[in-house]
Amino acid sequence: MTNKGPVMFLTGYQTPAAIRRTGAKRIETWLKNRKVKGAAALARTAVEAAQAQHTALPGEELAAAMVVRLAKGVMALEEEIAELDALIEARFHEHPLAAVIRSLPGMGARLGAEFIAATGGDMDAFGSADRLAGFAGLAPQPRDSGRVSGNLRRPRRYHRGLLRTMYLSAMASLKSCPDSKAYYQRKRAERKGHKQALIALARRRLNVLWAMLRDGACYRASPRGATAA
């Protein structure tokens, strides 16, 4: 999603000459009236850039009109996306297991909705946490050949959307969940890279989420000092 400030700015000012004539103060006021964050800095940057350019290019006015149309189109699309996101979140909250899913740190409404869309929200369809992990591409499978053994790789077929959901959730949980942070740090201490540690954390959290949904129980942090989640 684009930054609203610059796109909003382009609906009103497109050419260096117009920006110079208007000045930073009036542009700042124009942006503030449209509730653009960082209006002063954006106005100042635009005027400084306009003052450094005094060459008028052929077709500049036509290009400016096209920029206005494109900018308004982008803003309309962003409004539609925001409305769709709100609708998805509302539908997610109607799901009987929404509270259980959201109780897992790092699993917000949007990621929760993506989890339900990928799995149907019914853990009986998977039978075990291992099968769910395999579906998500978080359970490496042996790829032995000839005399080489112990070679583990991600399965060729897995749900990439579910893998993304659990990966992003694991990343977000590092900021709010001591259990997740402790588990991640333990994996890093085992000389795993950042991505490897996050994948391991995502697998661990998927196991926890599967058990939560199976039992219909919300997440409970481990006692202080434990690193179970």
The model's pTM is 0.65
Q: Domain spans of the chain?
A: 4-92, 96-215
> For the segment 130-174, what is each residue's pLDDT rounded down to a tens digit?
999 999 999 876 554 555 444 445 666 889 999 999 999 999 999
Give dist(CA 134, CA 129) in Å, integer.
9
Place of tokens 């909250």: 93
Structure tokens at 114: 């993506």
CB within 8 Å of 114: residues ≥ 6 apart: 161, 162, 164, 165
> For the segment 63-72, what is each residue's pLDDT rounded down to a tens digit?
767 767 776 7
Yes or no: say if 180 and 168 are a contact pair by the CB < 8 Å rule.
no
Instruction: Work out whether the CA dihedral 88, 93, 95, 99 comes out positive or negative.
Output: positive
The DSSP 8-state label assigned to residue 124 in this structure reads: G
- The three-point CA angle 53-54-59 to 5° equals 100
